[in-house]
Amino acid sequence: MGIFDDLLTENLSDKQALAKLLSLSEPDRQQALFDKALSVKAATVGRFVYLRGLIELSNVCSKNCYYCGIRAGNPQVERYTLSEEEVLNAAVFAHQNRFGSLVIQTGEQTGPAFAAFIVDILEKIHAITNNELTITLSCGEQPLKVYELWKRAGAERYLLRIETSNKDLYYTIHPRDRHHSFEARLDALKYLREAGYQVGTGVMIGLPGQQADDLAEDLLFFKSMDIDMVGMGPYIEHAATPLFAKRHMLMPASERFNMSLRMIALLRILMPYINIAASTALETINPLGRQMGVLAGANVVMPNLTPVSDRKKYLLYNNKPNLDKDASLSTKSLNAAISAIGETICFDMPGDSIHFQHRTSPEPGNSLS
């Protein structure tokens, strides 16, 4: 414990110190890190969990990320786009079950027809739910004008993971071409901030060839980008993807899982007021993954509201959980599971990033009024 306390009081903007903490493997010391993160969480954002109903709107994707099961180059995927009625049903379900918030995620599609389709969906969801749900989009890289258009149509948050902040590593998991440009992804994150969103990003943890140093850099990247929300989780192989060939380079799944929890814990200590999601990928490796993520500092969970018939077509990675579970059942068990660990689900609450509120509201005394 002594050494551990020293480590935590070290300057956490130091990459070496972060990498050292990320490499902690003794159970006691790891637990002490989680406990520290939980106490920071309790003292800042509180021991609350916010829900975002996840709607996987379409698995049509124009990109070919080497890790992802729904990449354009996977001919085995049966492509779908939910009907407007299906989306609205899911939104009404979220509203009736008092989720407070939705995430709409798609493969990457561009062009005016897709932009207009999203606008239409945003407007209809707001109309049918009495403007009582906040909406996060996760629809990939788009021009600034499209981000602005969707913001005006009522999207408030946007999630675009950088995947890894190490450019060389980025090009080992993406084709090196203009459709998968690291700089374009960075630019998109800047556009999102310019357009006024609560900006979320994230990384995959335990990628082939990724070191503790890279993950330490990822944490510093979130800090330097002054990001409002983070969704990150373990990389999980998908057999029908090019990255599967490098599976011999992977850490065991249990270690990718623990590393993900340590990332969450350190991020909560580094950026106490941001929103951090306990990803579905955590639950894929360990059935208790979401709760463990929350106890390591996460404050957002995303129950899946995609109609069960389409869920198995949105397989980013193998063994995705809850493929056949009715959302209402998962929600009940989730509520019980979250209460059991001493946390409170905030129903009917938007759960905005407090970090975002801090950076966008004028300091008291600076007000022009």
Q: Report what 218 binds from ligand SAH, ligand SF4, none; CB cut-off 5-8 Å by kind.
A: none
Query: 132 vs 310, which CB is nearer to ligand SAH?
Result: 310
Answer positive or negative: Cα dihedral of 360, 361, 367, 369. Answer: positive
Query: 140 vs 272, which CB is nearer to ligand SF4?
Result: 140
Which residue ranges make up the site for ligand SF4 (CB under 6 A)?
A: 61, 63, 65, 68, 70-71, 107-108, 140
Rounded to the nearest whole angstrom, what is the least distance from the CB of residue 63 to ligand SAH in the complex? 7
DSSP string, 167-201: HHHHHHHS-SSGGG-HHHHHHHHHHHHHTTPEEEE
Q: Report what 236 binds from ligand SAH, ligand SF4, none; CB cut-off 5-8 Å by kind.
A: ligand SAH
Query: 239 vs 288, which CB is nearer to ligand SF4?
Result: 239
Rounded to the nearest whole angstrom, what is the least distance from the CB of residue 237 to ligand SF4 in the complex? 14
The Cα 63–Cα 22 span in angstroms is 31
Query: 107 vs 231, which CB is nearer to ligand SF4?
Result: 107
Cβ 82 vs Cβ 124: under 8 Å:
no
Query: 22 vs 65, which CB is nearer to ligand SF4?
Result: 65
Rounded to the nearest whole angstrom, what is the least distance from the CB of residue 93 to ligand SAH in the complex? 21
Rounded to the nearest whole angstrom, what is the least distance from the CB of residue 78 to ligand SF4 in the complex? 15
Residues belonging to the chain? 369
Measured CA distances, 72 to 35, 171, 245, 323, 333 (Å): 42, 17, 18, 22, 35
What radius of gyration do the chain's Cα atoms show?
Answer: 20
Name residue 349's amino acid: M
Q: Report what 160 binds from ligand SAH, ligand SF4, none; CB cut-off 5-8 Å by kind.
A: ligand SAH
Q: Report what 71 binds from ligand SAH, ligand SF4, none; CB cut-off 5-8 Å by kind.
A: ligand SF4
Which residue ranges make up the site for ligand SAH (CB under 6 A)?
A: 67-68, 105, 107-108, 138, 140, 160-161, 163, 204, 235-236, 238, 281, 316-317
Rounded to the nearest whole angstrom, what is the least distance from the CB of residue 242 to ligand SF4 in the complex? 11
Q: Which pair of structure tokens corresponds to residue 151?
A: 């913001």
Burial class for 53, CB neighbours closer than 10 Å (0-12, 13-18, 19+):
buried
Query: 126 vs 238, which CB is nearer to ligand SAH?
Result: 238
Burial class for 325, CB neighbours closer than 10 Å (0-12, 13-18, 19+):
middle
